[in-house]
Amino acid sequence: MKACIFDLDGTLTDTLESLVYSVRATLREMGLPEITKEQCRTFVGNGARRLMEESLAAVGDENAERLEEGMQVYGRIFDENCTYHVTPYEGIVKMLEALKDRGIKLAVLSNKPHAQAVKVVRKIFGDGVFDYVSGQQEGIRRKPAPDGVWHILEVLGAEASECLYVGDSEVDIETGKNAGLKTISVTWGFRSEQELREADPEHMIAKPADLLAYV
């Protein structure tokens, strides 16, 4: 292996509180009811727009008539709060250090807006850990399209056969398969183990140290 590409939310960092806080604040500013934490957990993974579509539908705007308004409000609120209560999962930092010691290049591919993905990675891990960070941005289709993975492979100078993709959701499993990478699902994130098994990952791990054994 020459490289590992990681999802961010639910894989490297527990960002659920930041997402719940931002969505609730958005809905409150729009004069709408709040969603629950568990609802938010099931809505994340497909980018900010899908998150707002699902959230609005859950509070009665089933046709997403206020989606553009919601995106404007959410974009502002989330940019201010994207690191709110965000922490790395236990064992993640040591796992990343061990991978770097082995000479493996590290990257992040997230459906979180690019600016906020970079902000979270920099705040939680600093500037020297990851070789490349890519959030959702213009010109690169969001996961599960393979575009972001292929872009990162080009930047890192690695082939698909030399890289692992690691994530916590069915979106990540599909992304890895679409890009032709060996894909590892983690069970500590935003989806249940049963949901992950139904998406048929190549391999599943229960703690970050398990990835080192796999590599």
- Which residue in 7, 61, 168, 172 is the catalytic one? 7
- Catalytic residue list contains 7: yes
Cα distances (Å, whole numbers) of residue 23 to 3, 76, 141, 168: 34, 11, 23, 21
Positions marked active-site? 7
